[in-house]
Structure 1
Amino acid sequence: MTMMKRGAGGRMSEESEAGPQRALIVASFVNRVGNGLFNAASILYFTLVVHLPATQVGAGLTIAGLCGLAAGIPAGNLADRYGPRVIWLIAFAVQAVSMAAFVLIDSWLVFVLLATVDRLAATAGGAAGGALIARVSGERPAAFRARLRTFVNLGVVMGTLGAAVALQIDTRAAYTALILANAASFAGAALVVLLGVPAYPPLPRPEQHRRWSVLTDRPYVSFVALYSAMGLQYQTVALLLPIWLSAHTDAPRWTVAAVYAINSGVCVLLQSRLGSKVETLRQGGRAFRLAGLMFLLSCPLMALTADVPAWVAPVLAVLAVALHSLGEVWESSAGYALGFGLAPDHAQGQYQGLLGIGFNAGQALAPLVLTGVVLGLGHTGWLLLGLFFAALGAAATPLVGWAERTRPALSAPDAPAEDSADGSARLSS
């Protein structure tokens, strides 16, 4: 993040920042537990309980996801103008209501309308939430963001485990409980933020600021494209590898559950340790490059699970996912450092809005790319995917150099080491 200075509208003192940070971590954890509860069972609820055909559910979610992208920059501008907390609270209130209303749907049209409202609010909340993180991050933003993502990952894991109970019960009441619990998580997270996070006033904006100025910031737009494309790596483990293991290998079925557990475990255990070291722009560029190299190693290993005996395939899959998860930690840490660090303090909401749009669009296209191209090419597809990730990672270093040349205030020419652990090359706007 571009660092906010001490004083009016600036960075909090070390003593005063701990409370808001804890509140935001707790709120994010509560919300992600609810997300884990809902996401693990949502498709089954819509198809088995509401009796919507799977194709209609997929089409409805695609429509809702595409419509939701429209809220990113406008919501970010509102967060910059009125303060991020109020926009974040409104977004979560809307999601709490729309999520609870899912228990009442009885037709595809109602499903699409509610899903669209939910996605619009989610995108708005993402933009405002990013700006709020920027204001709460304190004197050591990388360490805070790493802790935050650790608890976010842990929340999703706990929610998913809770959903497993409802899936085993497999009744309408059980699925309804999951949906209402997710709705309650939005309300609970909002309450924690309302009570524990200050209502930061908007930061002063320069005269040249425009509501769409992020679109003219070519280094940042380029970073959004880079980060969104690298986001395919999330679906590589969540979607592509399970399909590959099931259809192209002799690995036992429990291998799919094992790789999910390894992925979550590595991210939870290493995010704080590694992510707290990725502070400056140059550290972010280096972490992005390391992530690409990890993915270059992991993707061919995933492909090789089809060429080994049944007892070797799970071992190879676990090794591949462990490497991939290490890359995910580096990639997410780089995303924080560059996504916040390249954005001016006064326009964090707008910039985070564009970043969310790009990332969500990439996730929407991921199934088509991974199943249509990579699976279609088999082993060659896996190798090309790894090379693609490595190329994206390598592009981060020149992108950071370009960004620094266009943002003289972000450079730290007098720093003795570009990756100083104490933040001597820390950014300021």
Structure 2
Amino acid sequence: MSTPVSGRGAGLPAALRRLVPPTPLSRRLALQSVLFSTGDGAFNTGSAVFLTQVVGLSAAKVGLAITIAGVAEFLLAYPAGRVVDRFGPKRMWALSNLGRVACFVALPFVGSFTEYVVVAVAFAAFESAATAARNAYVLDVLPTKERVETQAYMYSSLNVGFTLGAIIGGVALAFDSLTVIRWTPVFTAVLLLANAYWITRLPDAPHDLRVASGEARVRPEGPGPMRHPGWILTSFFLGTLWTNQVLLNIVIPLWLVEATDAPHVLLAWLFGTNTVLCIFLPAYTARGVRTLRDGMRAIWISSAFFVVSCLITMVTHSTVGLVTVLLVWIGHVTVTGAEVAVSAAGWSFQAELMDPRRRGEYQGVKEIFGALGGRWAPALYTFLALEWGAEGWLVIGGIIVLATVGMGPSVRMAHSFARRTWTHEHEEAAA
């Protein structure tokens, strides 16, 4: 039952009241999201200046270090998920955040490429554990009917926090002082420390209780997610569908600069619009997404938005003036629609297709095959759009359509596997 209006934005108009999480637990999880993303956003805003001017790395070395950290995170995703199941999602969520705190505290003292790689790889390990633990905890602690909606509010809250963090990072950059930039990671560490404490104040999830009782020390019977072909394929195709972020953050901005006459200042408006929409839309777009059928409907909606964005953006090579500005902006808005729709779909698939006894392990497999489904996109999409032009945009849209078509049988296969492998009683025991 939702809390009364008096506990959910009393005095606000109905449309704004909808943006306030409906239950005490969902509000606590939303606040956690704001704490985390504010700290993360504050550092990321000035990270390029920090790494090149404070640490003294070249742009090439920054790219290499980030690639090494990305490979480490990829390799650690599955074992991190296993650790989460073994020791409990809430405990591992809090501990991994403390690990991230230590990494940020160490950053001001980093002075070489090797030292930064060590910190970045350590951060990747904690990031893998934190991602698996957070997602496993949220699915485990919430009633089935609240899972998708609460994750939508958490997604909105993350964007609120990233916006606040960007403002704080911008203020730090405005001082034009390398000393200020050097110690910005400590500000992030303080917020993440508060975040870790806040996590410990959350209620234990059922899996945490099973760990405390010793039940979770026994590995569940039956095949795990690495022997679940439907889940592997669903994760892979979701990774492809999430390449809307590549369009959003890389391809459309590069296209604007290289292939249109739109003013470069439009980029600020594009990203600003995306941030605002990702704050306000998820609470609305996630409504009605509960079942696998709902999730597949959202996948097709996301695909439609993505393809429309490709079609609109590709014609801006031949337009001029305000027409170009308007069309590029609409193209960016429609790919934001693809983002929020696929988010809701992904949450519904996680809620329905993951073995409740192995959620950490399933999260690890999702991260691995999601990366395989989309990590190739920055290079390929950029080449297709900027080198092939209109034909390239059509190929990009075609890739998304193929991934969408592949999702249907993959989800059905995953659901069939779930019904054969674990029972409804397992879900009730975990809820």
Shorter-chain TM band:
0.7 to 0.9
1:357 is displaced (CA, Å) by: 2.7
Pick from 109, 123, 135: which aligns with 2:114?
Answer: 109
In 1, Cα distance between equivalents of 2:272 and 2:301? 23
Give the alignment's TM-score, normalised by structure 2: 0.86
1:364 is displaced (CA, Å) by: 4.2
Which range moves more in the overlay, 131-140 or 27-36? 131-140
Structure 2 residue identity aligned to 1:182: T
- Whether the aligned pair in 2 keeps the contact of 1:126 and 1:356 (CA below 8 Å) is no
2:40 match: 35
1:344 is displaced (CA, Å) by: 1.0
- Whether the aligned pair in 1 keeps the contact of 2:236 and 2:371 (CA below 8 Å) is no
In 1, Cα distance between equivalents of 2:370 and 2:404? 16
- Whether the aligned pair in 2 keeps the contact of 1:23 and 1:197 (CA below 8 Å) is no
DSSP-derived class of the 1:346 partner: coil
Correspondence 1:334 to 2:345: yes
Correspondence 1:145 to 2:156: no
Structure 2 residue identity aligned to 1:195: R
Structure 1 residue identity aligned to 2:150: F
Give the alignment's TM-score, normalised by structure 1: 0.86
Correspondence 1:180 to 2:186: yes
2:87 match: 82
- Whether the aligned pair in 2 keeps the contact of 1:227 and 1:359 (CA below 8 Å) is yes
Correspondence 1:160 to 2:166: yes
Which range moves more in the overlay, 44-53 or 397-406? 397-406
DSSP-derived class of the 1:131 partner: helix
2:69 match: 64
- Whether the aligned pair in 2 keeps the contact of 1:295 and 1:390 (CA below 8 Å) is no
Structure 2 residue identity aligned to 1:282: R
2:299 match: 288
| RMSD of aligned residue pairs (Cα, Å) | 2.5
1:239 is displaced (CA, Å) by: 1.1
- Map Cα deviations across residues 21-59 of structure 1 (whole Å, 9 max, x no partner): 332221121101111112222122111222210000100
1:18 is displaced (CA, Å) by: 4.0
1:316 match: 327
1:251 match: 262
Unaligned runs of 5+ in 2: 1-21, 423-427
- Whether the aligned pair in 1 keeps the contact of 2:251 and 2:382 (CA below 8 Å) is yes
- Whether the aligned pair in 1 keeps the contact of 2:84 and 2:129 (CA below 8 Å) is no
1:370 match: 381
Structure 2 residue identity aligned to 1:164: G
Pick from 180, 205, 209: which aligns with 1:201?
Answer: 209
In 2, Cα distance between equivalents of 1:208 and 1:93? 27
1:389 is displaced (CA, Å) by: 1.4
DSSP-derived class of the 2:321 partner: coil
- Whether the aligned pair in 2 keeps the contact of 1:142 and 1:277 (CA below 8 Å) is no
- Whether the aligned pair in 2 keeps the contact of 1:278 and 1:337 (CA below 8 Å) is yes
- Map Cα deviations across residues 365-414 of structure 1 (whole Å, 9 max, x no partner): 33222323443322221121112112222332232222233333799xxx
Query: Aligned residues: percent identity?
Result: 24
How many pairs are equivalent?
398
- Map Cα deviations across residues 67-125 of structure 1 (whole Å, 9 max, x no partner): 12222222212221221011111111111111121111111000111011111110111
Unaligned runs of 5+ in 1: 1-16, 412-425
- Whether the aligned pair in 1 keeps the contact of 2:255 and 2:385 (CA below 8 Å) is no
Which range moves more in the overlay, 401-410 or 348-357? 401-410
Pick from 113, 126, 136: which aligns with 2:141?
Answer: 136
